[in-house]
Amino acid sequence: MNTLNDAIEAIRAAGRIAITTHIRPDGDALGATLGLRRILSATGRQASIVAMDPPPLRYRFMMREDVIIPASETSSDAYDLLIVLDTGSTDRIPASIRDWIPRLRTLNIDHHPTNTRFADVNHVDPVASSVGEMICELAERAGFAIAADAAEALWVALITDTGRFAYSNTRPATLQAAATLLRTGIPTSQIDDRIYNTTNAAQIRLQGRAIEHLELHENGRCALVSLSREDFAELGCTGEDADEIVNIPRRVMGADVALFLYELQGENPRETKASFRTGELFDAASLCRELGGGGHARAAGCTLPMPLPQAREHILAVIHNAWFPES
Ligand SMILES: [Mn+2]
């Protein structure tokens, strides 16, 4: 039961620690990774970020003296412990270090209910808002200080995974962690501007294209937007420009299933990524797990090995059968 103490023990027993997170890292993955690296370095441990994908542009300001060591420049022998953050299964670990898992002692700190417990020590807390929140709790329990540089990274983890403390995963412990971070004097308003108020014209045009493609299904209870590979190419956009778009169908009143479908760049044959946001009635994580993906009850996703039109038909049929069989 007390996996937090097990996690602290694993960290205490290690002198040379590698930290990584899931591919295509989001705000929580980056914030937790940078935050934990800074906390552990301040305790005198050797802590390195290994094989992490580079941060998307909007999060690049978070990088300070942090160095991402590519797998080609190191090996599993250089560490006593690999900490994998915000990652529910091994297929989400960067491919270049996936084979480190059996070779090295591993600690997984995660909050996905779909977590497969792939590590030696698994500290998994599905009710935690974010791994950032879990790192705050760990630092406090272990007596590790959280300085302002770590607090800034963990703040990003908290606000991005909770929709700035608006989603139902925000709990009293989330705001207590937030209070701990605020006491270090971090510039929260500047951080907010860096992440949320940096849209460019191409991203706004991409949102416009998605809005044009809005569809309603199941008597308005399922709202869907989609973007094809051609939409991205015409507007000069990449998948990175699309990370807020699932919030567009979420805003439709009466839609308790919001869905964003888009074709990934450069994948041949074409693949379609699906992002789900659901209300309390529908468990997006279990539906996405059946489709080969995973995530959280209210926010989950999967990738289907087919072009957008087929993926759209398939997912709408799966949603209908699972959630609206009567209608
Ligand atoms: Mn997360």
Residue 27 CA, ligand 1 centroid: distance in Å:
8
> Do 217 and 129 sit in the same domain of this protein?
no
Determine the Cα–Cα distance for residues 159 and 186; give it in Å rounded to an integer: 13
Domain boundary among 170, 196, 222: 196
Determine the Cα–Cα distance for residues 252 and 303; give it in Å rounded to an integer: 24
Domain boundary among 131, 165, 196: 196
Determine the Cα–Cα distance for residues 185 and 188; give it in Å rounded to an integer: 9
Structural Rg of the chain based on CA atoms: 20
> Can you tell me the mean pLDDT for 125-152?
98
Residue 55 CA, ligand 1 centroid: distance in Å:
15
Determine the Cα–Cα distance for residues 123 and 33; give it in Å rounded to an integer: 15
> Do 59 and 189 sit in the same domain of this protein?
yes
Q: What does pLDDT average to over the chain?
A: 96
DSSP E strands in 164-304: the ranges are 215-217, 222-227, 257-263, 272-278, 294-295, 299-304
Six token digits for residue 247: 């919030």
Smallest CA-to-CA distance from 276 within 260, 254, 292 is with: 260
Domain boundary among 162, 180, 196: 196
> Do 79 and 103 sit in the same domain of this protein?
yes
> Do 164 and 45 sit in the same domain of this protein?
yes
> Do 74 and 137 sit in the same domain of this protein?
yes
At residue 124, φ and ψ (nearest 5 deg) are: -120, 125
CATH code of 235's domain: 3.10.310.30
Residue 68 CA, ligand 1 centroid: distance in Å:
20
Contact 287, 276 (CB under 8 A): yes
Contact 115, 122 (CB under 8 A): yes
> Do 173 and 219 sit in the same domain of this protein?
no
Residue 128 CA, ligand 1 centroid: distance in Å:
9
> Do 34 and 181 sit in the same domain of this protein?
yes
Whether 14 has a pLDDT exceeding 70, the answer reads yes
Supply the pLDDT for residue 326. 86
Residue 22 CA, ligand 1 centroid: distance in Å:
10
Q: How many domains does the chain have?
A: 2
Residue 86 CA, ligand 1 centroid: distance in Å:
5
Residue 177 CA, ligand 1 centroid: distance in Å:
15
Supply the pLDDT for residue 267. 67
* Cβ neighbours for 319, distance < 8 A, ≥ 6 positions apart: 217, 218, 222, 257, 259, 287
Range of the domain at 228: 202-323
Residue 25 CA, ligand 1 centroid: distance in Å:
9
Determine the Cα–Cα distance for residues 27 and 83; give it in Å rounded to an integer: 18
Residue 26 CA, ligand 1 centroid: distance in Å:
8
> Do 28 and 107 sit in the same domain of this protein?
yes
> Can you tell me the mean pLDDT for 120-138?
98
* Angle value at C-alpha 126, between 3 and 1, nearest 5 degrees: 25
Supply the pLDDT for residue 16. 97
pLDDT band of residue 7 (cuts 50, 70, 90) is very high
Whether 266 has a pLDDT exceeding 90, the answer reads no
Residue 29 CA, ligand 1 centroid: distance in Å:
6
Whether 61 has a pLDDT exceeding 80, the answer reads yes
Q: Which residues surround ligand 1, an ion (CB under 5 A)?
A: 28, 86, 161
The tally of CA atoms less than 13 A away on the side-chain side of residue 167 is 23
* Angle value at C-alpha 150, between 149 and 153, nearest 5 degrees: 95
Listing DSSP states for 272-300 in one string gives EEEEEEE-TT--HHHHHHHTT-EE-SSEE
Supply the pLDDT for residue 240. 85
> Do 150 and 222 sit in the same domain of this protein?
no
The tally of CA atoms less than 13 A away on the side-chain side of residue 11 is 30
Supply the pLDDT for residue 213. 95
Determine the Cα–Cα distance for residues 307 and 286; give it in Å rounded to an integer: 23
CATH code of 182's domain: 3.90.1640.10
Smallest CA-to-CA distance from 174 within 137, 223, 125, 222 is with: 137
The sign of the dihedral angle between the CA atoms of 75, 79, 81, 83 is negative
> Do 238 and 301 sit in the same domain of this protein?
yes
> Do 134 and 264 sit in the same domain of this protein?
no
Contact 185, 148 (CB under 8 A): yes
Smallest CA-to-CA distance from 311 within 276, 283, 266 is with: 276
What's the pTM? 0.85
Residue 212 CA, ligand 1 centroid: distance in Å:
30
> Do 234 and 294 sit in the same domain of this protein?
yes
Supply the pLDDT for residue 265. 78
pLDDT band of residue 327 (cuts 50, 70, 90) is confident
Query: What is the tens place of the pLDDT at every residue in 164-206?
Result: 999 999 999 999 999 999 999 999 999 999 999 988 999 999 9
Query: What is the tens place of the pLDDT at every residue in 233-250?
Result: 999 999 889 988 999 999
